[in-house]
Every structure is written in C-alpha cells, then in structure tokens.
Amino acid sequence: MIFLVDYDRKKGELRLFKQFRNDQRAEAQRERLDIELSLNGSRASREVVLLEANDERTLHQSHQRYFKTTREILEAMSAMVSAIP
C-alpha cells in the first residue's frame, strides 16, 4: 500500500491521509506533486510525503509522529521501557 501524508509541522496536525494501491503509484505521485506545487512559495510548514507499508496499522507504528501527539509517543515509549525485565 502507498499512503499520501500531508502533515502540518507547526500545528502537529495531519491535514490529509490517503491510501493508494501499489498499482496507483503514478496517481499518488501526481497528487503529492499537486499539493507540493500548491504550497510552493507559501510559508506553510508542511511535510507532504508518500510512504509505503503493508497496511495502515504498520504505518501507524512506523511513523507515529504523524498520528500521535508527542505526549502519546513518550507515554508509549515509557510503557515499553517499563515492560523490559
């Protein structure tokens, strides 16, 4: 699966999250480029990326910062460390 992510760094908000099948790569790339071009010259602090993962759950684990607050990430890390014997 291919995932298009438009993330506002200043606000810590996910502005767009869209899923594409692997055979839709060209469409995903065009959509990412359209967003990048629309932001060109603006002062927006945004990340527009294409990411690949087997499924959405895996993506949420590997790229937590797009889906969780910093506090949530730190709490999850703290719980993992506490679970180590």
Q: Is the pLDDT of residue 9 over 80?
A: yes
Give the pLDDT of residue 1: 97
Place of tokens 């932001």: 39
* Percent of the chain scoring above 90 in pLDDT: 58
- CA–CA separation, 9 vs 54, rounded Å? 25
pLDDT, residue 38, reads: 93
Model confidence at 18: pLDDT above 90? yes
In the chain, the number of structural domains is: 1
Report the chain's mean pLDDT, rounded to a whole number: 90
Give residue 56's domain range: 2-83
**In the predicted model, is pLDDT for residue 67 greater than 90?**
no
Cα angle 27-30-34, degrees, rounded to a multiple of 5: 140
